[in-house]
Amino acid sequence: MGYEELVRNHAGDLIEKLLMEVTGKDSVEIHFAFEDEDQWSFVSIHEEDNEISLRLHANDLFNLYVGYYDEADEFFEIIQPLTPEEVNGIPKGLRKLMQKVLIDEQGMRVPGKLLSK
């Protein structure tokens, strides 16, 4: 199964995997990034050369981001907006901290256990 199909049809599984990994860590980095007029906060996990991120943009818009290399070492990005049901599955603690990072425009490191509340 390719990444596009995985993101399109199994986004919930990828989000669950990301949440399990970040909430299980001793400390987690919540990052801030921007490009042109767009700004977002995010948490990520990396597997080999692949990245899975949960991004929060203005207006409480959450996206699932997957960046990966194909067999020819070409880099691809897939960004998919989360459904309201998927957003509701994100722990409130993580949502609040991501919102703070987005507002403050500055990343932070927090204990992973804070994110699961």
Q: Between 40 and 112, whose confidence is greater?
A: 40
Residue 104 covered by a domain: yes
Instruction: Please count the structural domains in the chain.
Output: 1
Residue 115 covered by a domain: no
- The residue segments making up the domain with residue 13 are 3-110
Residue 51 covered by a domain: yes
The pLDDT mean for the chain works out to 91
Q: Which distant-in-sequence residues (6+ apart) come within 8 Å of 68 by Cβ? A: 3, 49, 50, 51, 75, 76
pLDDT at 7: 84
Residue 116 covered by a domain: no
Residue 87 covered by a domain: yes
Q: Does the pLDDT value for residue 1 go beyond 70?
A: no
pLDDT at 104: 97
Q: Can you say whether the dihedral through the CA atoms of 9, 15, 20, 26 is positive or negative?
A: positive
- Compute the C-alpha angle 39/43/14, nearest 5°: 115
State the Cα–Cα distance between residues 66 and 64, nearest whole angstrom. 7
Residue 117 covered by a domain: no
Could you tell me if 5 and 80 are in contact, meaning their C-beta atoms sit under 8 angstroms apart? Answer: no
State the Cα–Cα distance between residues 112 and 35, nearest whole angstrom. 27
Residue type, 102: L
pLDDT at 41: 98
